[in-house]
Amino acid sequence: MPQPYPHGELVLVIDCSDLDRSAEFWAAVLGYTAGHVTGGPYRALTPASGAGIEVLLQRVPDVKRQKNRLHLDLRTPDMAAEVERVRSLGATLLTSEPVVEDGWHWHILADPDGNEFCVLQPPPAR
């Protein structure tokens, strides 16, 4: 079920070059279920529980050339384990050492299309 916002529904769209590869990657990373959308170059990913934000993959002909202006943060209590898990699914690690800021630790990774996302570990007190 899509998440409401005051004027309708909130859907996150990720550009990609290969719908099947991206659907397999992001469904495994997020624990979502991949479906098909008819009428265009799209694949829908929905939370297995039905509650949460829908992710729509959109096949585009152009290649990513610059840093994302918007990205996903995956917050986890075990950053090292989550980084290894998403790398085993096809992510590329972009930082050699974790970034540390105000007690937060994170690595920057890229999906198979080069879209950046972060795996973060909150400070212990959070």
Backbone angles phi, psi at 84, to 5 degrees: -65, -40
CATH code for the domain defined by 70-126 = 3.10.180.10
**Any idea where the domains of the chain sit in the sequence?**
1-61, 70-126
Q: What is the pLDDT of residues 62-77, one digit of tens each?
A: 877 777 778 899 999 9
Of the pLDDT bands very low, low, confident and very high (cuts 50, 70, 90), residue 10 is: confident
CATH code for the domain defined by 1-61 = 3.30.720.120
For residue 90, give the DSSP letter: T
Contact 40, 74 (CB under 8 A): no
* Start-to-end C-alpha separation, the chain: 29
Retrieve residue 116's tokens. 């950046």
Please list the alpha-helical segments (H only) found in 1-126. 19-30, 79-88
For residue 29, give the DSSP letter: H
Q: What is the pLDDT of residues 18-40, one digit of tens each?
A: 999 999 999 999 999 998 776 67
The fraction of the chain above a pLDDT of 70, given in percent, is: 91
Mean pLDDT score of the chain: 88
